[in-house]
């Protein structure tokens, strides 16, 4: 019943010239999204991936279990010195992410251009 979470990684360069890994998600993010969220992140080479963007532009629905997966990703990233930011959340989910405190550990941007410009 839940829309399967699709994910893939794009490699881009920020305007400042830094390499950035963009994790793009699509569909629902819920308890069944562990492989798509954490699995995709864990597949990144940690030594050479220091800047990561999470793209939620094509995510329709995130529940608290999905938010917990994002938090687990942030926890793992913090252990390896990676910076993680996110963009593309709807105003509602931007509010929800702020409510649970994610913005204390990951900045949110309205779109990819603004996210890249900040890196």
Residues that bind another protein (CB under 8 A): 1-2, 30-32, 61, 63-65, 67-69, 71-72, 74-75, 78, 90-92, 96, 99-102, 104-105
Structure tokens at 111: 């779109």
Q: Which is nearer to another protein, 21 or 69 (CB)?
A: 69
Q: Nearest distance from residue 19's CB to another protein, in Å?
A: 25
Nearest to 86 by CA among 62, 66, 105: 105
72 phi/psi in degrees, rounded to 5: -60, -40
Q: Which residue, 11 or 104, is less far from another protein as judged by CB?
A: 104
β partners of residue 23:
9, 54
Beta carbon nearer to another protein, 12 or 71:
71
The strand ranges marked E within the chain are 6-13, 19-29, 51-62, 83-87, 108-109
Rounded to the nearest whole angstrom, what is the least distance from the CB of residue 45 to another protein in the complex? Answer: 23
């Amino acid at each position: 019943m839940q829309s399967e979470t699709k994910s893939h990684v794009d490699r881009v360069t920020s305007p400042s010239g830094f390499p950035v890994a963009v994790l793009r998600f699509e569909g629902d993010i819920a308890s069944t999204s562990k492989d798509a969220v954490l699995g995709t992140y864990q597949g990144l080479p940690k030594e050479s991936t220091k800047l990561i963007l999470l793209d939620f532009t094509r995510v329709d629905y995130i529940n608290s279990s999905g938010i917990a997966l994002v938090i687990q990703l942030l926890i793992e990233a913090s252990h390896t010195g990676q910076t993680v930011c996110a963009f593309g959340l709807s105003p509602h989910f931007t509010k929800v992410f702020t409510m649970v405190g994610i913005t204390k550990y990951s900045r949110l941007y309205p779109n990819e251009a603004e996210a890249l410009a900040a890196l």
